[in-house]
Amino acid sequence: MMVVRYLLIFVILFVQVSCLNSQQKHYTSPDGYDLQHPQVFQMPKELEEISGNAFYAGNKDMLYAIQDEDGYIYSFQLGSDKVQATRFGKKGDYEDVTIYKGTAIVLKSNGTLFSVPVSEIGKPKAEGVQEWKGLLPDGEYESLFADEKNKELYVMCKSCHADRKNSVVTVYVFDLSADSVQPKNNFTFDAAQLGNYIPSKKYILFKPSAIALNPLTDEWYLLSSVNKLLVVTDRSWKVKQVHELKNAVFEQPEGISFDANGNLYISSEAGENEQGVVMKFAYKPTK
């Protein structure tokens, strides 16, 4: 009888453990990437609140970053302790940075844009900075990307009046061909598509925190820290993949970029951790 009792207890425990394992969330990754195993680079104290990152012409030798409290652009090599800080503006809530030809463009949360000559980055204070106000309607913005091939600048809204109570997110496009920032057009991204990929979340109020264009696949990568999602779309913004992000890996993901080889970089603010980080996800073509 004692043997039978222990056997029954073992079977019950085995079934309970199996059920728990079956209920564990399965995390996926875009083709060619493994989002569960990044190479992690710890950021210095001044980049504890890192909010955006970008490469110049895809050159992985130098990363440019901003943080969301001070008007500085930081430039450094990943893995190096040497970080150069260049002031370009006053204190403020700066959310993203992108580079178009020889100019770094910075996005403030209220929609104000700043252009900073790359040649000035590395100096204590940048000269030739331009400020662009009133190009975007009132709202909250965190996502910015310059498409050098098509000479266009994309700004994706995080929280705008026109999008409230709707499952859409407005994207504003600017023309950069005349070495200035000129409004071109705008359109809406249909976030209702996301519910088709995540059955547990039929309605998603999508709040993007960063966007980037994959240079190898020509696909848009949309990052959302609030939703803990990485969304992959085609060039026409039709959703192709949706990947939920694991909290243990992505504390507070706020920035995204690619180098010329297609390697993916996601920056994350410190959150409950002591340091901000930049995570590299090496591109490995699938056979």
Model confidence pLDDT, tens digit, residues 63-121:
999 998 899 999 999 999 899 999 999 999 999 999 999 999 999 999 999 999 999 99
CA 135 to chain centre: 22
Using the predicted structure, report yes or no on whether residue 203 has a pLDDT greater than 90: no
* Average pLDDT, rounded, for the chain: 90
Percentage of the chain lying above the pLDDT 90 cut: 77
CA distances, 132 to each of 66, 110, 113, 180 (Å): 18, 11, 5, 10
Poorest-pLDDT segment among 9-23, 42-56, 78-92, 261-275: 9-23
- Token pair, residue 172, equals 């504003």
Q: Is the pLDDT of residue 21 over 50?
A: no
- Give the pLDDT of residue 18: 41
Residue keyed to tokens 């893995």: 79
Query: Using CA atoms, how far apart are residues 44 and 152, in angstroms rounded to an integer?
Result: 32
Q: CB-based contacts of 230: which residues, under 8 Å, 6+ apart?
A: 30, 35, 221, 222, 223, 224, 242, 243, 245
Q: DSSP letters of 225-277?
A: TTTTEEEEE-TT--EEEEEEPPTTT-SSEEEEEE-TT--EEEEE--TTSSS-E
Is the overall model pTM greater than 0.85, yes or no? yes
Q: What value does the mean pLDDT take over residues 233-248? A: 95
Rounded to whole angstroms, the Cα distance separating 182 from 219 reads: 24
User: How confident is residue 2, by pLDDT bands cut at 50, 70 and 90?
Assistant: low
What does the pLDDT read at residue 204? 80
Q: Please give the Cα distance from 141 to 105 (Å, whole number).
A: 14
- CA atoms of 252 and 49, how far apart (whole Å): 10
Alpha-carbon span 271 to 162, nearest angstrom: 30
What's the average model confidence in pLDDT over 231-237? Answer: 97
Beta-carbon-side half-sphere exposure of residue 14 (alpha carbons within 13 Å): 6
Q: Copy the structure tokens of residue 89.
A: 């503006």
Rounded Cα–Cα distance for residues 272 and 270 (Å): 6
| pLDDT of the residue at 162 | 78
> From CA 18, how far away is CA 72, in angstroms rounded?
51
Q: What is the pLDDT of residues 143-159, one digit of tens each?
A: 999 999 999 999 999 99
CB-based burial label for 147 (10 Å; 0-12, 13-18, 19+): middle
With H, G, I as helix, E, B as strand and everything else as coil, classify residue 100. Answer: strand
- Establish how many alpha carbons lie within 13 A of residue 19's alpha carbon, considering only the half-sphere containing its beta carbon: 6
The one-letter code for the residue type at 75 is S
Rounded distance, CA 191 to CA 188, Å? 9
For residue 127, give the amino acid letter: E
pLDDT band at 39 (very low <50, low <70, confident <90, very high): very high
pLDDT at 161: 79
